[in-house]
Structure 1
């Protein structure tokens, strides 16, 4: 990989890491959801600084070219991100459902209390 591409990639992921940290500090992104993004950026920056690491892993795992290894790892990371976000959304849907049911019960109790007065 050329030096220009490596420097460009490092700059992009460093800016992205700073952006994620900024979102966390402003309270727009919770820390538990940002950790995956931060770990991903740091791993990419390490692999960019030491390109021998992905080459070694790809050879060790039997991949013919390192680009195939990187593609498989990228797909696995995207699946992990999608799974973690799906879990978070499922929890939120359940919480909203419970809150809606509680509000409905409280409204019913309020109407019943108004009828008896």
Structure 2
């Protein structure tokens, strides 16, 4: 990989890391969800600085080319992110349903007390 591509990649991921930190500081992204993105950016920056690391891992796991290894790792990471976000959304849907039911019960009780 040429030095220009490596420098551009490093600049992009540093900007992305700054963007994530900005979202956290503004309260638009919770810290627990941002940690995954920060760790991912740090790992990419380390692999960008030391390209022999992904090459070594790809050779160790039997990949013919490093790009295939990086693609598979990226797909696995994206699946993990999607799964974790799906779990979070599912929890929120259940919480909203429970809150809606509680509000409906409280409104019904309030209407009964007003009618008395």
TM-score clears 0.5: yes
Q: CA deviation at 1:19?
A: 0.6
Take 2:42 and 2:21, find their aligned partners in 1: how far apart are those partners? 12
What's the TM-score once normalised by structure 1's chain length?
0.98
Structure 1: segments with no counterpart, 5+ residues: none
Take 1:100 and 1:82, find their aligned partners in 2: how far apart are those partners? 27
Structure 2: segments with no counterpart, 5+ residues: none
Q: Report the number of matched residues.
A: 116
Q: Pairwise CA RMSD of aligned residues?
A: 0.4
What's the TM-score once normalised by structure 2's chain length?
0.99
Q: Where does residue 74 of structure 1 map in the other structure?
A: 74
Take 2:7 and 2:40, find their aligned partners in 1: how far apart are those partners? 17
Q: For residues 25-80 of structure 1, what are the alpha-carbon distances to aligned partners after superposition, in whole Å with 9 as ceiling and x for unaligned?
A: 11010000001100000000000000000000000000000000000000000000
Q: Where does residue 100 of structure 2 map in the other structure?
A: 100
Runs (4+) of structure 1 exceeding 3 A deviation are none
Q: CA deviation at 1:8?
A: 0.2
